[in-house]
Chains A and B, each alone.
Chain A
Amino acid sequence: MKSMDRRKFLLGASGSAMALPWLEINAAGPSRKKLKEPPLRFASFYSPMGFVRDHFFPEKGNADFLATPTLSPLKNVGEKVSLITGLSTVKVNGVDVHNQASSCFLSSANAQGEFKSAYPMDRTLDHLIADKVSHRTPIRSLELNCNSFKDLKESIYLDNISWYGPEHVATTMKDPRKVYERLFTTKKADKDITDLILEDASNFKRNLSYQDKEKLDEYFESVRGIERQIEKLNQYYSTREKADVPEPEEGPMTRGEYIRLMGKLLVVAFQGDLTHVATFMLAPERWGSPQEYHELKFTKSHHGLTHGQDNESVKNFLVQVDRFYMELFAEVLEQMDAINEGEGTLLDHSIVTLGSGLGDGKDHTMNELPVVVAGSANGRIKTGRVLNCPKDTPLANLWLAQAQLMGTGMTEFGDSTEPLSGLLV
């Protein structure tokens, strides 16, 4: 993809440089002092039901992870990517493994402890990070989801990795036109109405029981969240031009075109500092329905394929799906790496993870999770290598390390034992 000029975003209508989140003008300043830290972006991509192991992981001791069939699409950005092995989550016995895999991917709460819902769910990492960094951007966080199934037959847990808390889902956006609207349209804040309904809600709250008050807090947070976003977006666009992105058209798209478009919107949102936190589901977990992969020229149930992978011909289809998703992920990384930002690229100033909540779609294991991390968090993460962690290292350790890099100051997360050692330079 053509490199987009970051400056284009940041120059206002008058052409003068506007207040930047981190000041590039410092670079030209007479003191030549060290640049202020660029803002870091956090994104977590989810791919359902694991990847075919022997096509994903290199053989033990082989450091050339970019040579494996599934990871090879990453080679254009290979030096900025790490493969991390040995990460695990603890499976809860007796609950559906797919539901846990997706709904708890980004929370990794202690599976031995008491749950606040059917699964060890909690406020997910993206929101804990957004709590700290969203003051920098007009949009708190983006939750994108490339679920194109028409039959909404599966549970909420399979279709969401981002949660404000147990049972409190962060609604994902599946329609690129809606995402576009959210990123690029300013609205008039209807102060009259929001003031009225918030006051009404406060009166209403008085007579509620404790649990219902909690439910009503969802309402308060939502209304205020909208208000805040409208205000901040208006402020943002009062000094900046809209990015040069055409409005998505209505009409059928291939599976690849759809995911590519959503990916591009994510990159643009990061590039323009519209948000610094995002989650991205390449597809929902489990979902037994057939999916049309136009580019691969077949229609198959991804879930069905994972169960039949002992059969060579089935496995052949499955590795194509794995690679298909990896290629689309790689495209996002390449776009980010083509955007210059200060002394590095947008990718350098990000932490972008691709992972799955299942180690293996056939055996439903939750250890040896397939995880790659791209971007170096401005040179802090050691990239271009395989990081082999000891067996059963909690996935939460990786999340904790990322949370710390994002500046949350957190010292523990879920069932973490320590921030993932060996991740940093």
Chain B
Amino acid sequence: MLTYSKSYWRWTVVLAALVFSSVTQAENPSAKVGDFQNGIQPLLEKHCYDCHGRQKTKGKVDLTGYASWSDLEANPELIEKMIEALAKNEMPPEDEAQPSDDQRTLMLSKLNGVFDRAVANHQSVVPLRLRRMNRFEYGNAVRDLFDLECWVYSISDRIIRDHNNYFRPESGQMPKVAKVGNRVMGLQQMLENRLLGVMAFPKDPPAENGFNNRGDHLSLSPVLMQSFMDLSRSIVHAENFDKNCGVWDDLFQDPLSTKTRPRPASITVDKSVATDNTGLTISAWIQPSKVTDHWQTIVRREDSWRRRLLAIGRTGDTWGLWIGAGISGRYEEFGASVDPKTLSDGNWHHVAGTYDGKQITLYVDGKQAGSKALEGKIQMQSTGPMAIGAHGEEPFHGSLNDIRLYRSGLTKTQIESLAAGKESVAEEEMIGSWKQPTKAKPKLEHPAEEIAHQRIERFLLKAFHSPPDEKTLTLYGGYFDKQFKKSGAFTQSMKAVVSAALASPRFMLVHNETDEASPNQSAFNLAARLALFLWSSIPDDELLALAGQGNLNNTDVLEAQVDRMLNHRRVKNFCDSFAPQWLKLNNLVSAQPDFKTHREYYFGGDDKISYKRGMHMMLEPLLNFEAVFIENRSIVELLDADFTYRSHLLAEWYEGRAATYAINVNLRDIEFTRTPISDRRYGGVITTAAVMAMTSGPFRSLPITRGSWVSAVVFNDPPEPPPDDIPDLRADDKTLQREGLTVRQKLQQHSSEPQCAGCHAKIDPLGFALENFDLLGRWRDDYRTGLKVDASGTLFGRHQFEDVVGFKDAVLAEKDTFAKAFIGHLLSYALGRELTLADRVAVGEITAASKEGGYRMRDVIKNIAVHPIFTQTRRP
């Protein structure tokens, strides 16, 4: 079943095993259930009343008080429970007399009918309320608002770091190789380009069996508001904000000034001459405003070990000029000592580094500063652009100009010419260059304030995701005027306005759908909702324009927009946010197999360091999800696919060939390769090592935890809270060995306790089906005690299976149930709230609409986005 909130009404205790006392009688298949008294009541009387009202009130469910359909209609929660119990063959319990299949089907169809009526009459769809953006959304919104070329902050909410631009939704094809890093379990990923000195607020916790975008959990407090105020200031004043700001010219650029901000520049490599390199020369003019012990990047391209760079700063004892390049399969870095005072005297200096196949040489102002003999071949140049003046936390303080890149090592004379300011030097060898753009002094046709007000209006439309009214414009425009009058500084005044807007509730709070909203406002609300759902961010110009024209609610337009959004790179945010939360992958972070007996899980010398195999494992299901998404495959392939993505280490792991690795494995950009799967034990997320490892304890697999995971994730049916007094299982290896039992046999003793049996009958088969995977996800036929693993069972009382392949087939046979469950998860995520019983209708409709194409991922998403429950349009 889907987890529907029972709002303020709760089921009590776990559904316990029912003990029927009635005697089996011959069935009367012709019994009609249409009429309550003659139809369903006799069946309830025969199969249910004893335990639910007459002799006992199991699960505090009393059915005897309902004498008509309308009685029942008043209690949709109860009907829903009855439907689920009947549909999954949970009731009557296995060892009791069962209604015939026909009777069951008839009861179900009747109960479904009365449920729909009950919901229509007694439940209303919960409106969408105002909520604060969560940490992930806030960072994305700021990035998109300013079109930043870097992250706002480096947070673990995004697990995957993409190092080869593999995520291209518009291509419809996931590449064969994804080079990725894991931020949660590998700290290297923090060295990414981001705003300096900007601190994220604490991560928002997920709801139980839910997501971290739930409106009821996203509130504000003074402590949190302080973080938002600090953020709003620190973002626009970050040292590297200006050069990373893509909307600079349209917002912050002083219209009176010729001075432009240092742009985030790059050198594009000319591919026609780049191929034939004999060496390398990087030449640049620099004017550092300050020198520190940190590295300051002049130019750099990040491309694994083929990277190259020119920088100043300190490594070890050497403060000086540095060059780096891939030479003969190794990354070589060489620095020459330079007096920092020379470079920071306020003048422009020429710096260069060369490699000619025999020697690396560094020059400052045309004079050789150092050299090192090194015989070798420069590595094939990749043709990616080289970033100028910034690399993560190593930004250049000051100005740069006239940066040139050559495919050979220039001679000393040629470097002297460059240092003397000659324009044309070795032009045939040059493969790229960059110069500070120059601009003529602009003439203002309007006063600066007027220009500012126009810019503010455009900015606020995007920041507040709806057009600012007169009052708002006057407020923020007036604020600009006040600041500008005081300081006369355009850029600073604009930053003050922007900083205030970032702390406004109109920016931070989203997702409301007010009854009072005008149709126009509703269109902007829909745009904002779409952007949050698919991009975890704010709407872009196109969505805002359509909302402004009033066209967004037009089905064709809406569908086209959803398609466009699903092809946009920003949709990576959806995968980053939804997939790991759906799979509860955070549990893998704290998986801690015993270090002594499972050293092979750990890369390092102890269990404290974060480099574990889990780091690789975690990425596999996420990449699988992204492949299904990008290639618009059926969501059923999330459970059973003929391919997967595995790293070299992970492939070895599954094959049981893994050795203990030292720490010096590549932890930054790990290659995951698409691997065909013919062995049906694998393929799909359930049997990935990630899921198996995070549902295990330090010493053994935990079948109940696994069963709960399958129930909650795959069937969106998290088990009820366990009863209070759980007897200790005592299933440690020693005890099991002594007693000669498998975990399963041991657990069966425990589960036969009446207060446990009901729930365990539901969860256990789901967990034991996976018992052939050990606590770290490797296949085993036998336990270490030598006893054979028994993975057989029955799903929903109707699909028998012998092993995990059979189990997967059983799950696939219930693919409609899975689809409904998945859509429930996704709808809850899309709406940012817990689903209620009334939403069951929408889930049913979306599921039905997606079935035709075989539940393709994009169809499912699109069907949610166009459904009235999401667009919030009233039904005709």
Name A's B-contacting residues (CB within 8 A).
Answer: 91-97, 99, 114-118, 140, 143, 149-156, 159, 164, 167-174, 182, 190, 192-193, 196-197, 199-201, 203-204, 207-209, 211-212, 215-216, 218-219, 221-223, 225-226, 229, 288-290, 292, 299, 304, 307-311, 362-365
Contact = CB atoms under 8 A, between A and B. Distances in A.
Contact of A209 (B499, B514, B725, B727): B514
B13 A207 contact: no
Contacts of B724: 91, 97, 363-365
Given A208-B130, A219-B509, A310-B728, A150 B221 contact: no
A153 B712 CA distance: 15
Given A97-B724, A222-B224, 20 more contacts: A92-B10, A95-B10, A96-B721, A143-B223, A151-B587, A151-B589, A159-B205, A167-B217, A192-B479, A207-B517, A207-B521, A208-B130, A209-B514, A209-B515, A212-B512, A219-B220, A290-B590, A290-B592, A299-B592, A363-B724
B224 A171 contact: yes
A229 to B, nearest CB: 7
B222 A226 contact: yes
Interface string B690-728: 000000011000000000000000000000110011111
B400 to A, nearest CB: 32
A174 B208 contact: no
B229 A155 contact: no
Interface string B220-244: 1111111001000000000000000
A155 B208 contact: yes
A168 B219 contact: yes
13 contacts: A94-B11, A94-B12, A94-B720, A99-B208, A115-B8, A143-B223, A153-B589, A155-B207, A164-B221, A171-B202, A174-B202, A192-B479, A207-B516
A222 B503 CA distance: 12
Nearest to A311: B728
B215 to A, nearest CB: 8
Interface string B461-505: 000000001011001100100100000000000001001100111
Nearest to B497: A196
A207 B509 contact: no
Contact of A155 (B202, B205, B521, B584): B205
Nearest to A175: B202
A117 B223 contact: no
B128 to A, nearest CB: 10
Contacts of A365: 724
B474 to A, nearest CB: 10
A226 B503 CA distance: 13
Contacts of B222: 140, 221-222, 225-226, 229
Contacts of B13: 93-94
Contact of A93 (B60, B505, B590, B730): B60
Contact of B589 (A150, A170, A182): A150
Contacts of A304: 697
Contacts of B514: 207-209, 212
Contact of A307 (B500, B589, B726): B726
B768 to A, nearest CB: 21
What's the dominant secondary structure at chain B's contact region?
Answer: loop
Nearest to A92: B10
**Closest 9 pairs between A and B when the two form their complex, measured CB to CB:** A289-B590, A222-B225, A225-B222, A93-B12, A364-B724, A151-B589, A94-B10, A171-B223, A153-B586
B129 interface: yes
Contacts of A164: 221
Contacts of B496: 192-193
Nearest to A116: B8
B509 A215 contact: yes
Contacts, number: 183
Q: Which of A159, A190, A197, A211 has the most chain B CB atoms inside 10 A of its CB?
A: A197
B350 interface: no
A344 B586 CA distance: 49
A346 to B, nearest CB: 25
A225 B222 CA distance: 6
Given A153-B586, A226-B226, A96 B208 contact: yes
B102 interface: no
Contact of B129 (A114, A211, A292): A211
Contacts of A197: 500, 503-505
A117 B130 contact: no
Interface string B23-61: 000000000000000000000000000000000000010
Given A94-B12, A208-B514, A308 B221 contact: no
Contacts of A173: 223
Nearest to A220: B505
B206 interface: yes
Contacts of B223: 143, 170-173, 182
B220 A218 contact: yes
B189 to A, nearest CB: 15
Contacts of B226: 226
Contacts of A203: 469, 471-472, 475
Contacts of B760: none
B216 A216 contact: no
Contacts of B506: 200, 204
B224 A153 contact: no
A96 B11 CA distance: 11
A108 B698 CA distance: 36
A212 B517 CA distance: 12
B261 interface: no
A201 B501 CA distance: 11
B435 interface: no
Given A93-B10, A207-B517, A222 B220 contact: yes
Contacts of B271: none
B131 interface: yes
A404 B129 CA distance: 37
